[in-house]
Amino acid sequence: MMGGSSCPFAPSSSMPPFDANTLMLVIAVFNGFMAFVWLAMGRLFRIAPQASLLLLAANLVSIPGLYCPSCSQLWPQALGPWMNELPLVISMALLALGVRKLMRLRFHFSTLGLLTAGAVLGSLLLSSLGQADAGLLVLSLSMSLLALTAFRDVLAGRVAEQPLLVTLLLCMPYALWALMMLGQALTLSWLPQWREWFLHEDVPSVPLAWTDLFIELCIGISLVGMVVARLIGRVKHMTLRDGLTDTLNRRALSAELRRLQAQVERGQSHCLVMIDVDHFKRINDQHGHACGDAALRHLVQVLRANMRALDQLGRMGGEEFCLLLPHTALADAQKVAERMAQALRSEPLQWQGQALTMTASFGVMPCLQDDPQGDKTLAMADGLLYRAKAQGRDRVCADAPELRAATL
């Protein structure tokens, strides 16, 4: 998928077992294998299909530049090196695009496309004028820039829980490739006495071929590792989230509540809000279960618009939800609940051309001490929620000494 100038593979009975041509052929075979891997990932298992398609193309396109027996015979001598490098440049551009897609970053094809097209056309012009080294210089610099782009995207796409050391290891192959291509460019332009370190009669040197093979293996392993990590993240997300509303499920919410209760024992203040949609059965009966599902998603949308990033919303079951408010006093939690109730009133659900007004009841409770599982806190909040419903619904009922005494 990358690296160094290449040339036709010419078998010979006296050829050493690990000369540059043999190593480039090994890289070509490895890229063919990786193309099969990406085909299986994207088409068979439907894992990151768009990124897999780009990486599949990157591996396939690179093969002619690594092993092309007839290229030197089909093209003029001045264009031979350019033709052998061309697939590798296009391959690197596809790889950079695939990495960007895999990292779920904003997809800008135009920037990388213009860089690649400019490098290819500029190198073609220089090669056709008899300046082959200058043409290879342009292609080497463009591949170095493309490698740096992939390096930056892997860093930018790092997830918060991923250790920095792991991210640096994933970035390493692209940094090495960028340095290798930059070294080749400097050699071609300003350090001809070091040319043998990179090229020997326009054939990649053995050290360059070994480096190329090492980087290929690292990139292949790291990309597959990133895809597997993405798959594991998706499975983990599914086990912790409610399928309909994408809120925390009851198990994940209980775990978060236990974490907050442990902090309460150390003197921190947190609050919990129970939320229940008013007359939800009526919505289902009058408009169908599809409308009921849409109502729950609308409720979650409104609630999230009035939450902080550190707040956690989970679905307890049916139309009942629980909101965890870390580091929040009871008075502030009550204000949050009242703001949410008002927002829900003022933003009706749009369903099949109708505006359906929704309301909800809220029970607000501070997290209690000596309640490691949060069961007493939940029960108290649930009691406040049903008190709000008994008082006419569409209201907020917060903890107070007299209410707690009545509940107990």
pLDDT digits (tens, 9 = 90+) for 329-375: 999 999 999 999 999 999 999 999 999 999 999 999 999 999 999 99
pLDDT of residue 215: 93
Domain range for 383 is 250-407
Q: Could you tell me if 275 and 387 lie in one domain?
A: yes
Question: Alpha helices, DSSP H only, in 67-108?
Answer: 71-74, 80-102
Classify residue 132: in a domain, yes or no. yes
| Secondary structure letter of residue 44 according to DSSP | I
Q: Could you tell me if 124 and 268 lie in one domain?
A: no
Question: Which position has the token pair 């250790």?
Answer: 163
How far apart (Å, rounded) are the C-alpha atoms in residues 204 and 233? 41
Q: Could you tell me if 223 and 351 lie in one domain?
A: no
- Phi, psi of 350, deg, nearest 5: -90, 115
Q: Could you tell me if 340 and 391 lie in one domain?
A: yes
Tokens linked to 366: 């501070």
- Evaluated on CA atoms 257, 262, 265, 270, the torsion sign reads negative
Whether the predicted pLDDT of 6 surpasses 50: no
Q: Could you tell me if 127 and 254 lie in one domain?
A: no
pLDDT digits (tens, 9 = 90+) for 155-197: 988 877 778 888 888 899 999 999 988 887 888 777 766 666 6
Classify residue 259: in a domain, yes or no. yes
pLDDT digits (tens, 9 = 90+) for 284-330: 999 999 999 999 999 999 999 999 999 999 999 999 999 999 999 99
pLDDT of residue 80: 52
Global model pTM greater than 0.75 = no
Whether the predicted pLDDT of 263 surpasses 70: yes
Classify residue 24: in a domain, yes or no. yes
CATH number of the domain where residue 320 is located: 3.30.70.270
